[in-house]
Structure 1
């Protein structure tokens, strides 16, 4: 079964109210629980595409997790190999390396501990207290990228 079958599209409230509000605040320098605006070049157009994301830090390393699955920004990230994280006027260029499924459970658990109230519905009942087996089961459905900042 293709992982793209598991994509959860954001609802109207998320698309029209929540994401624009978080992006608005983040663009003005106010991070909401680690929020950033991700800018990544489109794999077909080459134009910058933006979306609000939650930047996860675990053991001093930074990660981007795709709660809704294999969506446009994840496809673009694979093609571009990196992008920019925006917070107000601060711009951080970065490279991105996709994390293998077997390394994701710890990262998914940490992500859900921090943002379950916001994104828990996209994880099919799996939460921060779920078993390692459950986290391994959903790992292929949620791309995770290790972010390495290359410029400020």
Structure 2
């Protein structure tokens, strides 16, 4: 019995201007607190609502490491296991608060020498939470090198 491994997309499949399928992420308190702790970000504004309010926020909010990870996940879910993230370059805007939803969209804006650049936007009800680009490199096999 032989198992087949899905390799997802290939570099040659991708077209500049291609839109990625959007991803809606419910922003639960558990997601925000757990991911802050998982990334070892113990700043109280990410897990203590009372202290977050004392510091001028309406509630706890998502940390940048989680935002980076979710943006990277968005692109690699689309590209498949033969793509490796080379760079995530985002700017944060509106905070991600519990009870909202962040919807991530993307578009291929560049392609050369085995690299693909995707412009991403993660927006919630307050506006743009994260905007920027993710650059991925395609390999010959899942988790491998080119």
Fold conserved (TM > 0.5)?
no
- Shorter-normalised TM range: under 0.3
Greater per-residue helix proportion: 1
- Per the normalisation by structure 1, the TM-score is 0.25
Q: Which has the larger radius of gyration?
A: 2
- Per the normalisation by structure 2, the TM-score is 0.26
Greater per-residue strand proportion: 2
